[in-house]
Structure 1
Amino acid sequence: MVSVSSLAISDGAPDEPPAPTPAPLPQKPARKSVHAHHLGHRERLRERAAKGGFVALPDYELIELFLFRTFPRGDVKPLAKALLTRFGSLDGVLGATVEELRTVQGVGEAAAMDLKLLHEVALRAGRDKIAKRPVISSWSALLAYVRVALANESREQFRVLFLDKKNQLIADEVLNRGTVDHAPVYPREVMRRALELSSSNIIILHNHPTCPLSPTYIHAP
């Protein structure tokens, strides 16, 4: 019995050598993920804030940290710097209106409202400091509150802090808003409101948009 396991057929031509294996093409360096880079920057900024405290961060990085919550992804550093450039300072950014904030490219309704929320928190924190102790004995706290409330107003305001006999804050009210250089007020309206609130003393705040603030203490009759 003959067992045939393979059958080779030759045409008489010499065997050809195998084709050479092509050399691998040089690999292009992988591009870094822009998204991953931004995530890394955010984590590094948070770590710096945790280690050194917020006081060590410049104003634009404080705004960055806050905007991370408004913009979960992307690079917000250019936006933070644009806000400071537009309004001149951190106080200027917080004191701007929603409409003014939205003039900065990249700031939508949500970002503008979030920044105004931060401003309101700062405003109420300043008010709490006044309300918890006699105003006369906490002049620095009063000035800090006044700067937050009025320093970046683009129009004049006539504002009154109504105090009780212990100089504790009863109410903080804007009795009139004017123009860039004029805010009329009627003394009878101030006195009427003081009587309504049973206020013993008042502090009158009147700002000039281009001048330093100068609150005046007045004893109400």
Structure 2
Amino acid sequence: MREAPLPGLSTPVDALPSGSPSGGEDDPHYHGHRDRLRARFLSGGADALQDYELLEMVLFAVEPRKDVKPLAKMLIQTFGGLWNAVQAPPEKLRGLKAGEVALNSDARVATVRAVGACALRAMRQQVLKRPVLSSWNALMDYCTAAMAHETTEQFRLLFLDRKNTLIADEVQQRGTVDHTPVYPREVVRRALELGATAVILVHNHPSGDPSPSRADVDMTKEIIRAADAVGIAVHDHVVVGKGKHASFKALGLM
């Protein structure tokens, strides 16, 4: 005689194997894979996982049951790396599919994009309110992460106080693939509003080559003249390329 189950007792959903709802003999090949990835991550940290495996863990939230490894690998291959994948524009992510999983909704695309946004905001918080001289490398890493893979030019202003502490970071202008309109009076006006005594200019070259152009040099001189008239120093102008950057000060251009 079979015993009836005790009232109120049931198997928790989280206890079922991740490969299939029943945990039966027909479990797919990735049965238990998610638990193993999580265990490796918790015991060894991010270095214990490949880039695609970290992205898999993000995609677990997108698709709770199906195998997300093909999509993770495809995203990294398509965009050329983990960072590029989580920073990719929504229109380029939407609809991508590998295996049985597709980024076929705003919710799924937003989940992938949120990872890049969290990482970038965390980097920004590491450099704000800190002296730029003691955090220069971190500041350049942040600017590179924020701008290097943009498809159009951006002109960013880093505002400093009398102690050379970074008090604000703002994108002033967005332009085309090879030009950004910059207005020296706007740079000075915003610095005065924030009570800044110095600025660092940063812009990107979507081509990937950070070498300053003649237009970059001329524009920098105009900003320096406008800023100097009201006692605001321009400490540097940095051009960000793909994986590298160029400093006007280091190049003797200012």
Q: TM-score, normalised by structure 1?
A: 0.78
- Residue 49 of structure 1 deviates from its aligned partner by 1.6
Q: Is the 8 A contact 1:181 1:208 kept in 2?
A: yes
Match runs of 1:1-221 below 5 Å: 32-34=26-28, 37-105=29-97, 106-107=102-103, 108-211=105-208, 212=210, 213=240, 214=245, 216=247
Return the alpha-carbon distance in structure 2 between the equivalents of residues 140 and 183 of structure 1.
Answer: 25
Query: What amino acid is the match of 1:150?
Result: M
Return the alpha-carbon distance in structure 2 between the equivalents of residues 215 and 118 of structure 1.
Answer: 28
Q: Secondary structure at the match of 2:30?
A: helix
Q: Is the 8 A contact 1:84 1:93 kept in 2?
A: yes
- Residue 217 of structure 1 deviates from its aligned partner by 7.7
Q: Secondary structure at the match of 2:130?
A: coil
Q: Secondary structure at the match of 2:125?
A: helix
Q: Secondary structure at the match of 1:199?
A: coil
More helix per residue: 1
Q: Which runs of 5+ in 2 are unaligned?
A: 1-23, 211-239, 250-254
Q: Closer, same or farther in 2 for the Cα pair 1:160/1:146, shift >3 Å?
A: same
Which residue number in structure 2 is paired with residue 19 of structure 1? Answer: none
Query: What amino acid is the match of 1:119?
Result: G
- Residue 52 of structure 1 deviates from its aligned partner by 2.4
Return the alpha-carbon distance in structure 2 between the equivalents of residues 189 and 215 of structure 1.
Answer: 24
Q: Is the 8 A contact 1:94 1:118 kept in 2?
A: yes
Return the alpha-carbon distance in structure 2 between the equivalents of residues 85 and 187 of structure 1.
Answer: 41
Which residue number in structure 2 is paired with residue 22 of structure 1? Answer: none
**1:85-132 deviations in whole A, cap 9, x for unaligned?**
111011211221111211522113112111221112111111111124
Return the alpha-carbon distance in structure 1 between the equivalents of residues 73 and 67 of structure 2.
Answer: 12
- Residue 215 of structure 1 deviates from its aligned partner by 6.2
Query: What amino acid is the match of 2:67?
Result: D
Query: What amino acid is the match of 1:32?
Result: D
Q: TM-score, normalised by structure 2?
A: 0.68
Query: What amino acid is the match of 1:95?
Result: Q
Which residue number in structure 1 is paired with residue 237 of structure 2? Answer: none
Q: Secondary structure at the match of 1:204?
A: strand
Q: Is the 8 A contact 1:202 1:217 kept in 2?
A: no
**1:33-55 deviations in whole A, cap 9, x for unaligned?**
22xx4341111111222232211
Return the alpha-carbon distance in structure 1 between the equivalents of residues 201 and 48 of structure 2.
Answer: 36
- Residue 137 of structure 1 deviates from its aligned partner by 1.4
Return the alpha-carbon distance in structure 2 between the equivalents of residues 166 and 215 of structure 1.
Answer: 24
Return the alpha-carbon distance in structure 1 between the equivalents of residues 200 and 113 of structure 2.
Answer: 26
Q: Closer, same or farther in 2 for the Cα pair 1:163/1:217, shift >3 Å?
A: farther
Q: Closer, same or farther in 2 for the Cα pair 1:83/1:150, shift >3 Å?
A: same
Return the alpha-carbon distance in structure 2 between the equivalents of residues 103 and 190 of structure 1.
Answer: 40
Return the alpha-carbon distance in structure 1 between the equivalents of residues 139 and 248 of structure 2.
Answer: 11
